[in-house]
Amino acid sequence: MNFKIPKLTPDNLEPVRLSQVIPGGGTLPDTSVVLPVPPIDTTVTTRCPIMHDIRSIKIEKGILRIRLNNYTHVSFDSLVIQHLRTGDIDITIPFAPVEAMNSVSKTIAINNKWAADSIACSLHLRKLESEWTSVCKYDSIVVVVGFDSLNITGGEVKIPHLSHSMDTTLSLPTYSEYPIHLDSIEFSEGSITLRADNSFPVNAKVRIESPEFGLDTIFQVVSRQSNSMIMNLEGRSFHNYDPIGTSFRCAVQVNVDSSEDYVSFSVEDSIESDMRVDDLDFESIYGEFTDDIVHTIPTETRGIDIPQGLSSIRIKEAMANLTLTNAIGIRGCADLTVEGRNSKTGASANVLINAVVDAGEIDNPTTSFFSTNLAPVINIAPDTIILWGEITLPAESFSVKKASWITGHASVTTPLRLSFEENTVHFDPDTIKIDEDTRETLSHIRSGKLVVFLENRFPVGFDLDLVVEKGLPDPDTVIKRISITGAPVNIETGIATGPVLDTVRIDLSEDELNIFQYSPLTACYTLYVPKTDTIAFHINDYLKLGSYVTVRLKVGETEE
């Protein structure tokens, strides 16, 4: 560490008295008298301490100023400062002429020299002719030496009390791609490490302040040692006073103790301090969005399977509901578009969803409800659904805590209100395999019945065909038509109050029963949907079907 000293002025060198210069000057009176002054050609040595509390200093560069003050009424033809010495500085400086009661000066640059604690020189005075002038034994010539702009790289000194302050601004390591200004942060984790390294030959005290962290601490650093301390940030807050960014002020003041004895120092000596912030994690953040944040939701396309028979349904109302409970201190809104496309018919339809979510708190969450009718999209029997939109966070204050949360619940309101177009629904067939022994037994069939169990909770009736086929190459078929009664409904709501149960027994002829002597057989249901007005359907509505065949066999001469 280089020490810079703007100005250093030692005591004046011992004055050279006129009584030391003039032959017989010891008899000069105490008061001024006019006497003849003979020619002078003499040399006088003088010295003085250069600086108090300094034994030696190494000067990298600086300026040496010499001024010669002639406090006599004698004019000199020349005055020469011979061998002005301190340390390894040795300079000879001529002045000519030097008038009575006048001063002369010179400036000399010095580089890579060292100065001792004293200075000495010889003063050679020359006057060629005698003259009558006023003289006094107290008249003198004084040499003044001063140093300016010294850059000192080392030395041996008695160090006085020193104080040095440094103030800097650092950025808090935060990042956001959005225009956010942070007001305050409460930390759940993190630390500030303060460290100071003292290579000085004396002890020092380091004070570090950071108003944003509420930090103001002093710790001592022993000579030629290091010291550090760690401040836990858990539960502490950071308050941002920067109106634009997120920064904090770090003010360091170093106070160096004075030394009673001489101590050595060098250019490498220093007191270094640093402040490090590590492992930050927040408990809560308070700030504001400085501009509206608009986040585009990427377009998402999904293919869907069209349920069989959906084209015959015309939904009047199918409300999709979303409930959001928000414990995050951020308000926002979403504008979404749901579009359905039917690639076979070329039809398309869309619905717009606008959702506004109010800011909430952990202890006081807000609940928002949103509903939209999906009937326009469902009614085109889409095979592709496309979703796009954007989310907007307005330019306003916000708060986020580590334990903040948001939950949602989606549902489709029942009853659905829809109408049927006349339609036929073919259910997937089942294969019936009958082993040979059973078929042999069935060859003795005399009569039989088809028993069908029906359970219908739909508020509408249907016709149903039960079809049994032998299949190719002899496609004999048994078809039985059954009428299904609609479930009873609440008069006010139109919703089915419960299922209607029915058991239907249908006689089968001997010819119809003969089909069961073949294997495999194919059995299936065909449902005939009637055209209806708008009907209310509930999520629990259903249709259950079950059937079996009972037969009477001829065994020998008996029947069973």
* 543-558 pLDDT per residue, tens: 898 877 776 665 554 4
Rounded Cα distance, 374 and 364, in Å? 32
pLDDT at position 559 is: 47
Least confident of 188-192, 244-248, 366-370, 410-414: 410-414
DSSP 377: H
10 Å Cβ neighbour count for 215?
Answer: 19
Q: Is the pLDDT of residue 1 over 50?
A: no
Are 523 and 467 in contact, with CB atoms under 8 Å apart?
yes
Q: Can you tell me the distance from the alpha carbon of 320 to that of 414, in angstroms, rounded to the nearest whole number? A: 10
Q: Is the pTM of this model over 0.75?
A: no
Question: In the chain, what are the helix, strand and coil shares in percent, each to the nearest 5?
Answer: 5, 60, 30
Q: Report the pLDDT value the prediction gives residue 9, as an integer from 0 to 100.
A: 59
Instruction: For 423-442, write each residue's pLDDT tens digit.
Output: 888 888 888 887 777 777 76
> What percent of the chain is predicted at pLDDT more than 70?
90
Report the CATH fold assignment for 162-288: Jelly Rolls (2.60.120)
**479 or 474, which is more confident?**
479
Nearest to 157 by CA among 6, 267, 9, 258: 258
- At residue 312, the pLDDT reads 64
What is the per-residue pLDDT for 560?
46
- Its CATH class, for the domain covering 421-559, is mainly beta
Q: Which CATH architecture has domain 3-157?
A: Sandwich (2.60)
pLDDT, mean over the chain: 84
177 contact partners, CB below 8 Å, separation of at least 6 = none
**What stretch(es) of the chain map to CATH 2.60.120?**
3-157, 162-288, 421-559
Residue pLDDT, tens place only, 75-90 = 999 999 999 888 899 9
Greater model confidence, 53 or 388? 388
